[in-house]
Structure 1
Amino acid sequence: MNTETSHSFAERLLKSRYIWPLAALLLMLIFNLLLDASFLDIHFDNGRFYGNPIDILHRSAPVALLAIGMTVVIATGGIDLSVGAVMAIAGAVCANLLVATDVSLFTVLVAGIASGLLCGLINGALVSYMGIQPIIATLLLMVTGRGIAQLLNDGQIVTFQHAGFSWLGSGTLLGIPVTIWLVLLVFIISQLMLRRTALGLFVEAVGCNSSASRYLGINDRTVKLMAYLLTGFCAALAGIISAADINGSDANNVGLWLELDAILAVVLGGAALSGGRFSIPLSLLGVLIIQTLNTTIMVSGMPSKLNLLIKALAVVLVLLLQSDIFRKQISGLAGKWRHS
């Protein structure tokens, strides 16, 4: 009986959505420890914690924010390719207000967040009310949004000096970078909204079958619009902390291709791109896998020309391990090998 119980527990463990992403992250951490025994060391100095784990969390903050919003959009059956451009717009709005006018920090932040919400409103309206395919609607803003940011900056890199604003990107709270606290705050609020209210069920229902959810009395258009508004908010916040971190707005490079990392993190978290199933904690775990992998490549001293190839191979391996079909094929081959 004990053998059957342990076997059943092992089967449930292997089928868990958390086990393979966690195993991938653990393997990377072990590999880094073999390269550098002090990789996970954290020390406190001058009122701040330092160490590779803190650095990984800090550097992953923008993608983590994007992944939270992207998870909800993908859960509704959509996608948002414009989040990188929205980051550039929000950063440009804040930077120009800080440079050109004597306005309060609160006003600057409200303007930056409002620009992201406006972008989310445009995407959501095009997708939910105009019936445009999400990939096309958001691709439009992906292209035009970065152009808008460049117009706001007049084609230049806009720099500023503002201690309060810069604190959001490089400051600390209780010794921990503010960016980590912001991600944690957005995560908790999003998780409460989606798992402690009916909104999460509405999102899953719309993602699984939008037409059927409408017959159940769910306003699928409003749900989709809210999803894109959340993505716009998260992208704007990511743009704000990115601008605050470098004390400037670089419309050409900020957020460039981060939308792909955000989508990849959601996929690593096991979300279905067709909609329905989603998990914000697993998406954030996917973000940590990506950032830890980037750090691993740098720490290992591998040639920079191999970085993207190594990253792609590692991601493919994680995705294969998450595939039930792949694991069954491996188990079948292993069984044949044992009996031969």
Structure 2
Amino acid sequence: MSAPTTEPVPAATPPPVAPPPVPPQRARLLASPLVWPLLALAVLLAVNVAGNPDFLDVRLQDGHLFGSVIDIIRNSAPVMLVAIGMTLVIATRGIDLSVGAVAAIAASVACVHMAGSPQEGAAATAVLGIAMALAVAVLLGLWNGFLVSVIGIQPIIATLVLLVSGRGLAMLISDGQITTVTNATFEGLASGFVLTLPIAFVLALAVYALAALVTRRTALGMLIEAVGINPEASRLAGVRARTLTWIAYVFCGVCAGLAGLVIAANTNSVNANSLGQWIELDAILAVVIGGTSLAGGRFSLTGTVIGALFIATLSRTITSIGIPAEANYLFKALVVIAVCLLQSPRARAVLRVRRPSPARKAAR
């Protein structure tokens, strides 16, 4: 009998080598919505430093900080104020296109009051003018909130009403003239300093701190997000969606009024036809860059602040590298389009990189 033949046993294939796991700290960092705004801001700063090595230099003079960076944070204050209010409106699945008109109306009320007062330069006159302007801003916010939450008009249409008519109202208040004022207290809103920092920026930070404290240390932020995710479901769950929407529009109106006062104080005058023009574009851009979705729901006030700083730095960068200032809006519009496209579900589906399944990995 012949010896049985033995077939060679094939060597066992080694198990697939799994890729090294991503460290938890790095994964959390990459998943943070603040990473990309901070990276974009760092790139802009690097471009400015490349063109001007002294760009980041900050000096202490007469008890105040001076430098290009200080100018940027001062100029970012109006957009930052409007964007903080816009963040809560967008979180409720809304939009406010009337913030520029509200800023013009508030500035017109304050400047006309001070210019017509016999004690134009008195501090009390400035304080009363500012209080009147903010009261008008509250009323305008109540009007927008009424149209959206009570009447049920789409936010873009409801605020478009005030966007169209608000400029005319501001022109009526100021008699169609450029109103100039001479009041040191009012001027200090834009040119003054506190703790070596510009008052305008400190005011914006105070509004940010107040909004963050109220929305993140209480249940208000969670309720606003619930309204933005599903208004009907939140209403059935007992959340007062109408009241929360109203509050968001009033807060946005107050922020726009403050921004208008800062802009007017920067020139000691108000031109109702141009003050705050297109600031709604900058505010929406800052909110979107900061990671807040235009579809409503979760929002990031910190990201909005970074987005406002990004816009101010972008404006400074465009002029410093020799591009005409008229191209500012073109670049900002392109950024808005790009960010909105990236946030759309279809674009995400196209750009999503699908990981192969474990069975496919083993087969490979």
* 1:113 equivalent in structure 2: 134
Q: Which moves more between the two structures, 302-311 or 146-155?
A: 302-311
- 2:64 paired with 1:48: yes
Report whether the alignment pairs 1:254 with 2:270.
no
Distance in 1 (CA, whole Å) between partners of 2:24 and 2:303 is: 24
- 1:14, distance to aligned residue in structure 2 (A): 2.2
Letter in 2 for 1:57: I
Output the CA distance in 2 between the equivalents of 1:276 and 1:43: 42
Q: Deviations over 1:228-250 (max 9, x none)?
A: 01001101111111111110111
How big is each residue's C-alpha offset from its partner over 1:120-172, in whole Å with a ceiling of 9 and x where there is no partner? 00000111011111111100001111111000111100001011111112111
Rounded Cα–Cα distance in structure 2 between residues aligned with 1:277 and 1:310: 27
Q: Number of residue pairs matched?
A: 332
Equivalent residue number for residue 228 of structure 2: 207
- Out of 200, 203, 218, the position equivalent to 1:182 is 203
How far does residue 302 in structure 1 lie from its aligned partner after superposition?
A: 2.4
Cα distance per residue 1:312-337 (max 9 Å; x no partner): 445666677888657645999xxxxx
**Equivalent of residue 186 in structure 2, options 147, 165, 180:** 165
| CA-CA distance at 1:291 after TM superposition | 1.1
Cα shift at 1:311: 4.1
AA of the residue aligned to 2:103 = M
Structure 1 residue 98 and structure 2 residue 98: aligned?
no
Gaps of 5+ in 1: 333-340
Q: Is the 8 A contact 1:320 1:326 kept in 2?
A: no
Give, in whole Å, the separation in 2 of the partners of 1:314 and 1:139. Answer: 23
Shift of residue 198, structure 1, vs aligned partner:
1.0
Where do 5+ consecutive residues of structure 2 fail to align? 1-18, 357-364
Residue in 2 that maps onto 1:74? 90
- The residue that corresponds to 1:32 in the other structure is 48
Of 266, 273, 279 in structure 2, the residue corresponding to residue 245 of structure 1 is 266
Normalised by the size of structure 2, how large is the TM-score? 0.85
Taking structure 1 as reference, are residues 182 and 46 closer, same or farther at Cα in structure 2, changes over 3 Å only? same
Distance 1:62 1:204, change over 3 A: same
Distance 1:49 1:317 in 2: 36
Give yes or no for contact 2:40–2:310 (8 Å, CA) kept in 1.
yes
Query: Quick one: which of 104, 109, 133 aligns to 2:154?
Result: 133
Which residue among 145, 157, 160 is the counterpart of 2:166? 145
Q: Over residues 192-215 of structure 1, what are the superposed CA-to-partner deviations in whole Å (9 max), with x where a residue is unaligned?
A: 010011111110011111111111
The TM-score with structure 1 as length reference comes to 0.91
Residue aligning to 1:20: 36
Letter in 2 for 1:257: W
Range that drifts further, 153-162 or 13-22: 13-22
The Cα RMSD (Å) is 2.4
Q: In the TM superposition, what whole-angstrom CA distance separates every residue of 1:96-125 from its partner, at most 9, and x where no partner exists? A: 110112463322121010010000000001
Bigger Cα Rg: 2
> Per-residue deviation at 1:64?
0.3
Q: CA deviation at 1:303?
A: 4.0
Residue 206 of structure 2 aligns with an amino acid whose one-letter code is L
Question: 1:269: Cα distance to partner?
Answer: 1.2
The verdict on how the C-alpha distance between 1:44 and 1:331 changes in structure 2, with shifts beyond 3 A counting, is farther
1:41 aligned partner, one-letter code: D
Comparing 40-49 with 189-198, greater Cα deviation is found at 40-49
